Structure 1
Amino acid sequence: MMRMTAGASTLAMAMGLLAPQLAVAQSAEPVAGDATATATAATAVPAPADGAQRYTPGDFASFSPRTALDMVEKVPGFVIVTGTNGGARGLGAATENVLINGERIANKSTDARSALQRIAASQVAYVDIVDGASLNVPGLTGQVANVVLVAGTAQARFTTTIRWQPDWRPRLDDNWLNGEVSTTGTIGGTHVTLSLKNEANRNGHWGPEQRFDGNGVRQSTRDELASYRGDRPRLALALARTTAGGDKWNFNLGGQLQKLVDAASSVAVGPTNGTLRETFKSVEDEHNFDVGGDYEFGLGQGRLKLIGLYRFEHSPNVDTFIVDRAIGGRSGERFTQTADEGESILRGEYGWRTAGGTDWQVALEGAYNTLDVDAEFATLQPDGSFLPVIFGGEKTRVEEKRGEASLTWGRALAPNLTAQINLGAEYSALSSSGPDGLTRRFVRPKGKLALAWKVGPRTTINYQLQRRVDQLNFFDFASSVDVANGQGNGGNGLLVPPVVNRTELEFVQDLSAWGNASVAFAYAYAQDLVDQIPLSPTTEGRGNLPGAHLYRISSKATLLLDRLGWKGARINSDLTWRRNRVRDPLTGSWRDQSEGQEYLVDVSLRHDIPGSELAWGASYFDEHFSPNVRLNAIENEYNDGAFVAAFVEHKDVAGFTVRLTYRNLAGQKNRFDRTVFVDRRNGPIAFSESRRREFGRYFQLTVTGTL
């Protein structure tokens, strides 16, 4: 009751701040003396490139943006590709569709959203949406946002951006610590950004789980409560400078602590064993840091950029599962794993443009990745201690030494047609000391062809043909035990990186005053995808599959409703349908890849009320993944119903934007169904479980602003 009361009081406080503004109509247009308008007007900006759509601060004025992220998110039909380059091999080509001053974010610890969040809206001169194939940035295709800052924006005066996002969930601890503060400015000609960010969460759910025997007869019903608590404070420093001679350098330093605690408890009453209590707890206490930078200077007819990066992560993790039986006593298991991960990268890029307008780039990259795992599996003894049990995965070391070279060519083939070709190859030496450990060496060609065809003034067709090499999860080389579900994976030292041969065709239509829409069709033939495979007649683990077929249809759109008479309203949509078809290693038949996305529906409505500082809206989100298929079990985790939310926003509460969101209006629930077989899943069923957990409706407050 105390937590719900706190949430209600915060709601009352926020509505109290909004109420006095309802009677005051304020202009959303820039006014004389506005800092953003003045800075932009005083800056001489180049004309948009052919085919580019330009958005100036005036186009976003009705939203009263606080940061560059607020602006880019309002571009019609554009969706930011989230995530960092951490899942890719090394630095390689660009993986996100956002540039800042024409340059990609070459920092594996900072994604596009985080970088844009730290740029004040007053520092943005304009945002250009361009075709990736028309840029001399390898890896970019489709729509790309180039955020260009106001010349001289690196001022001596520091600008501080703030985001605070607490939420209050029923039956769980209040989350007060989620947010970020960053400050940017100039010291002695060097642009400085210092940020402190904590991605805190206080999640959880509760409800019954039923257990059935192999004939479908219910054996017991558990009442369960699970909580997931995490704090991830990260402190980062970024320095950037452009010398009088045009040389550019960047330096990044960051460190993070992660404290993650997952806990679940349940009580069941069975017909034969009486009361049964189960307790699971997982604790991870991680620290990591990264240091990197780049230096770019003129050399001959072009420019050379040198990039370096080092990352290290120390992650101790302890999972404990205890069972107390009224008849049968107490038993338990514990799995402890301490992992040290390291990554070192050196990369050089030399690019130039010929007199005929052709862009060239030559790139060389070397990387050294390591993983050291110390693990222990132990069982609970009558005296309360845990006795280690040999399970074959106590120590594992994985190393990869990799080098790659690539050549990129790009130019306009016609006034309305641009092309970019990237050809490359990589050499890697991969070794493991775990099960089946050995050293193997590979040479793999890869590359990409991208075309952007401006069919008409408002219609663009993008095409790409790509062969890429994906990064392995080094933890798949090590053995592990899932104490909560009584199963585990054997380590596999024979894993090889997957190779994906992919083609995609995208149609982009500018709907003028109606908005923007795109649809894309993609197919890929994947070699050596990673899924569950038999490692022996009695064990299983992660391994490579035969050739697979991947299909995707996606669409992104923004519909502006002004012409329908609803001034200031818009609908955004992001829709995806996928099928990843793989050969089952047990039966040989075709099935969906384990835990592959099947569909995504993300639709939102926003209405900025004209003549006021108020906005409101709602969102609908539904996503589904295919089951996780093990050799002795089928596990299907999914959401029952869609996630629906509604918000009200005031754009000027003491200079801050304040949004209050009421989340999970439709009462979405988490579901988990598991069928476990006696031996392999082509045999008889041992038992099955069906879990249904709810997490209730809750409030979330978002406060953003600049100082």
Structure 2
Amino acid sequence: MHKAIRLASAALGVLATPALAQTGSVAQAPVATGPVSDALEIDAARQGVLIFEPAFFADQRPNTALDMINRLPGFSLSTGDSSTRGLAGATGNVLINGQRPSSKSDSVDDVLRRIPAAGVERVELIRGGAPGIDMQGAAVVANVVLVRTVTVERVIEGGLYAYPDGYLGPTLGASYSRREGDDQIEGAISATINDRTDGTATGFRRRYSPTGALIQNADLDLWDEYRNVRATGVIQRGLAGGRLRINGVLGWFGNDNTQDLLIRTGPGTDNFNRETSEEIEGELGLTWTRDLDTRSAFELTALQRWGEEDYRGDTLSAGEESVFSSSSTSGESIVRGVLRHRPSDPWAIETGGEVAYNALDSTNAYEENGVAVPLPSASVKVEELRGEIFGQTTWRPDPTLTLEFGIRVEVSGISQSGDSDRSKSFVYPKPRVQATWTPWAGHQFRVRAEREVGQLDFDDFVASTDIEVGQVEGGNPDLEPDKTTLIEALYERRFWDEGVVDATVQHARVEDVVDLIPLAGGFDGVGNIGDGSFSTLRLRLTLPLDRLGLSGARLFGRTTWARSEVTDPLTGDKRRFDGDQAFGCELNFNQDLAGGKWSWGFEHGCNVDKGRAFRVREVRAFHEEPIMEAFVQWKPSDDLTLRLDVGNVTDRDQGYDRFIYAGPRDVSPVAFTETRRTNASRWVYLQARKTF
């Protein structure tokens, strides 16, 4: 741990040197040559940046910047992953005025939802990189450029979920925003009261002998309910020749769910499971940016997050009771600095560093009939100090070609105290090379090679439970992150103004694959199982249907084939990664009518295979029928939107098949198989949005 601290301090020293040695604005957001009102004409100029002005979205009458982003042809919004430690990769693939949102808890879709469409000057679609733009590893990024005139918006939203059994779940929300040039103030509050997920369902659990004979038939009755309250605030003002942005988030989340299992035929006893959890989270972030000269800028971000969670799971069966309880606090502190410089129009250089401290203090307990049962790593405090330095260069030698070279070097130290006292240090270089070639109008090729390093999940260091099937997992202090060497190639073709088709091929080698392994005491736990590989082929199509007779209609389709291979640590056989799907697909349709006054559509997930999980004494094959949802929307006026969503239209089944072995599955036969299927009800959601 001390070694990691010294290395992290050195990283900060490297960061500080170039920041002080150079003087000089981050390059303005790229503006492609050609008419800004026609994306295809811009692409005809062989630029990697397409520009979409408000006129492009006029037929959809968008309310917010999020509505505009969701209509960009050939772009899929990624909101990032707030559970990622550090800021890199946590904020998605959308920029606001060339900068990423400075919050992790306030997701990018929520940020976009608070920006009125009238406040957007244009949206830039940056494909494959552009000088002066921080892509953070994404192949495609959307940049929302805001108008600099005064825009003020007040919004009140209300909604109501309704279910066939008469259960109602109301939602409420209100927000205010004001922008003038670089000055900005925002505030929002939302609440969900007694809503449900697909955890409310009915179904069955059936067990079969190895010969296929039914040995037990049981009914399942599942119920769940969640509630949350969330408040966000943002203020941005000029300070010390630059801009200071302060954002804060405070939220509470509560969840309750139960499972009744009633034996109808065969041996066994009824049981009842109940889980309750409460979580509080908070965040405070500050970002200061300053132009050093017309071609250089500096950005400094500080972020503090805090969370607290309490959980309890009870199982009652035949007069016996087992209880798993957990209490944890977590925190994250981040300081990140970035220096950007444009020595000339074709070149952009970015360098900087980040230091982050993360901690999880968790205490877990498990007891049966009031008697405590020891768990591996039941009470553990996990701490990590990470330092990362990075640098990248983007070069556009001519309008047809963009090259990006970058490297990140991560230094981290993880220590554990409590039931397990040990520490580890890691140093991982993560190089990246990407080339983007646009040889003809509407055609683009992208090739990427990158070294990626996964992050360890702190929850895997401590014990946990799967109360649904009555299993407890131990914590494992001997984890290492997986390391992936990835090669990717993509071809994109744009046609018919809004039409896009692309094909992506990936191949990767993975070291130290993370999966489940046996632990002491007969428990399963997360661990490393060796090296593996995976390959994927993805095809996507965005098809405007105007030329086919459906005015204002668009169809989006995606199919993905995947193949992975790793050696099973028990049997020695080759198999897929845990949870890996061999095939996935989706189909979305929407149509705008009467100039955007009416719109309707549906989305359909057409894959069933959800992969398998491999435990020491069990193989679990997941099952989920295709999901389908539909909506209709009416805008009687510019300041009022009414929308009706219908969920679970196909009344789908989901569940899994468990193959339970008499002992470790490498040396024991199958004792029985278990089939579980549940069916959640359909639901409707009526919502109204009023602006002032």
TM-score, normalised to structure 2, is 0.88
Distance 1:397 1:537, change over 3 A: closer
**Post-superposition offset of 1:621:** 1.4
Distance 1:77 1:704, change over 3 A: farther
What is the 5 A alignment of 1:643-658? 643-652=627-636, 655-658=639-642
Shift of 1:307: 0.8
2:402 aligned counterpart, secondary structure: strand
What residue is the counterpart of 2:67 in the other structure? 70
Which residue of 2 is the match for residue 342 of structure 1? 331
Which letter does structure 2 place at the counterpart of 1:113? D
1:573 corresponds, among 548, 557, 568, to 557
- Alignment of 1:680 onto 2:633: no
Residue 447 of structure 1, CA deviation: 2.1
2:458 to 459, 471, 474: 474
Q: 1:653 to 1:226 in 2, by over 3 A?
A: farther
Distance 1:509 1:163, change over 3 A: farther
Question: Quick one: which of 186, 203, 210 aligns to 1:207?
Answer: 203
1:691 aligns with 2:659: no
Contact 1:193 1:237 in 2 (8 A): yes
SS of aligned partner of 1:626: strand
Quick one: distance in 2 between partners of 1:231 and 1:548?
A: 41
| Residue 257 (1) aligns with residue 252 (2) | yes
Residues 205, 226 of structure 1: 8 Å contact kept: yes
Corresponding residue SS for 1:88: coil
1:193 and 1:490 mapped to 2: Cα distance? 44
Counterpart of 1:521 in 2: which secondary structure?
A: strand
SS in 2 for 1:115: helix
Q: Could you tell me which amino acid in structure 2 is paired with residue 289 of structure 1? A: G
Displacement of 1:331: 0.9
Does residue 617 of structure 1 match 2:601?
Answer: yes
Task: Select the residue among 173, 197, 201 that pairs with 2:190.
Answer: 197
Q: Secondary structure of the residue that 1:99 maps to in structure 2? A: strand
Question: Measured at CA, do residues 467 and 163 of structure 1 come closer, stay the same or move farther in structure 2, by a change above 3 Å?
Answer: farther
Q: 2:177 & 2:160 partners in 1: Cα distance? A: 24
Looking at structure 1, the residues matched to 180 and 631 of structure 2 have their Cα atoms a distance apart, in angstroms, of 40
Aligned to 2:49: 52
In the alignment, the residues of structure 1 paired with residue 330 and residue 264 of structure 2 have an alpha-carbon distance, to the nearest angstrom, of 44
The equivalent of 2:20 in structure 1 is none
Shift of 1:169: 2.3
Residues 587 and 606 in structure 2, CA contact (< 8 A), matched pair in contact too: no
Q: How many angstroms apart in 2 are the aligned matches of 1:634 and 1:190? A: 56
The answer to whether the Cα contact below 8 Å between 1:529 and 1:546 also exists between their aligned partners in 2 is yes
**Secondary structure at 1:122's aligned position in 2?**
helix
1:146 counterpart SS class: strand
CA, structure 1 residues 596+242, in 2 after alignment: closer, same or farther (shift >3 Å)? farther
Residue 26 (structure 1) aligns with: none
- State the shift of 1:283 in Å: 0.6
Partner Cα distance (1:65, 1:426) in 2: 41
Q: In the alignment, is residue 319 of structure 1 matched against residue 313 of structure 2?
A: yes
Cα distance per residue 1:341-393 (max 9 Å; x no partner): 1111111111111136421111111111111111111123xxxxx34333343
The farther-off stretch of 163-172 and 54-63 is: 163-172
Aligned equivalents of 1:322, 1:537: Cα separation in 2? 23
Q: CA RMSD in A?
A: 2.5
Name the stretch that deviates more: 261-270 or 359-368.
261-270
Structure 1 residue identity aligned to 2:219: D
Matched, 1:159 2:153: yes
Q: CA deviation at 1:93?
A: 5.4
After superposition, the Cα gap between the structure-2 partners of 1:197 and 1:501, relative to the gap in structure 1 and judged at 3 Å, is farther
Residue 163 of structure 1 deviates from its aligned partner by 4.5
Instruction: Name the counterpart of 2:99.
Output: 103
> CA offset at residue 52 of structure 1?
2.1
Alignment match of 2:612 (pick from 627, 638, 650): 627
Structure 1 CA distance, aligned partners of 2:665 and 2:188? 50
User: Could you tell me how far apart the structure 2 residues matched to 1:216 and 1:434 are?
Assistant: 47
Name the CA distance, whole Å, in 1 between partners of 2:156 and 2:575. 47
**Cα distance in 1 for residues equivalent to 2:156 and 2:584:** 31
Residue 196 to residue 611, structure 1, CA distance change in 2 (3 Å): closer
Kindly indicate whether residue 50 of structure 2 is the aligned counterpart of residue 61 of structure 1. no
- Please tell me whether residue 292 in structure 1 is matched to residue 285 in structure 2: yes
Give SS of 2:144's match: strand
CA contact (8 A) 2:628 2:647 kept: yes
> Is the 1:94–1:138 Cα contact (8 Å) retained in structure 2?
no
Q: Please report how far the alpha carbon of residue 195 of structure 1 lies from its aligned counterpart in structure 2 after TM superposition.
A: 1.4
One-letter identity of the residue aligned with 1:448: R
Correspondent of 2:162 among 146, 168, 174: 168
Moved more, 179-188 or 439-448: 179-188
Matches of 1:333 and 1:172 in 2, distance apart? 33
Aligned counterpart, 2:649: 665
- Kindly state the Cα deviation for residue 428 of structure 1 after the two structures are TM-superposed: 1.0
Q: Write the distance in 1 (CA, Å) between the matches of 2:391 and 2:230.
A: 36
Q: Contact 2:415–2:422 (CA<8 Å) still a contact in 1? A: yes
Counterpart code for 2:281: N
AA partner of residue 374 (structure 1): T
SS of 2:270's partner is strand
Contact 2:487–2:508 at 8 Å: present in 1 too?
A: yes
**Structure 1 residues 187 and 80, CA gap change in structure 2 (3 angstroms):** closer
Instruction: Name the SS of the counterpart of 1:364 in structure 2.
Output: strand
Residue number among 471, 492, 497 corresponding to 2:476 in the alignment:
492
Whether the aligned pair in 1 keeps the contact of 2:393 and 2:406 (CA below 8 Å) is yes
- Residue 91 of structure 1 and its aligned partner are, at CA, apart by 1.1
Partner SS for 2:476: coil
Q: How does 1:593-612 map to 2 (within 5 A)?
A: 593-610=577-594
SS in 1 for 2:497: helix
Name the residue aligned to 1:30: none
Local SS of the residue matching 1:513 = coil
- Runs of at least 5 residues in structure 2 that lack an aligned partner in the other structure: 1-35, 37-41
| Count of residues in correspondence between the two structures | 643
Cα offset for 1:126? 1.0
Paired-residue identity, %:
26
Once the two structures are superposed, the pairs formed by residues 407-486 of structure 1 within 5 Å of their partners are: 407-433=391-417, 437-486=421-470
Q: Is the alpha carbon distance of 1:94 and 1:700 closer, same or farther for their aligned partners in structure 2, counting shifts above 3 Å?
A: closer
Give the Å deviation of 1:66.
Answer: 0.7
CA contact (8 A) 1:172 1:202 kept: no
C-alpha distance in structure 1 between counterparts of 2:177 and 2:502, whole Å: 36
CA offsets 1:269-324 (integer angstroms, 9 cap, x no match): 34456xx3311111111111111111112347622111111111111100011113
Q: Does 1:278 align with 2:275?
A: no
Distance 1:387 1:323, change over 3 A: same
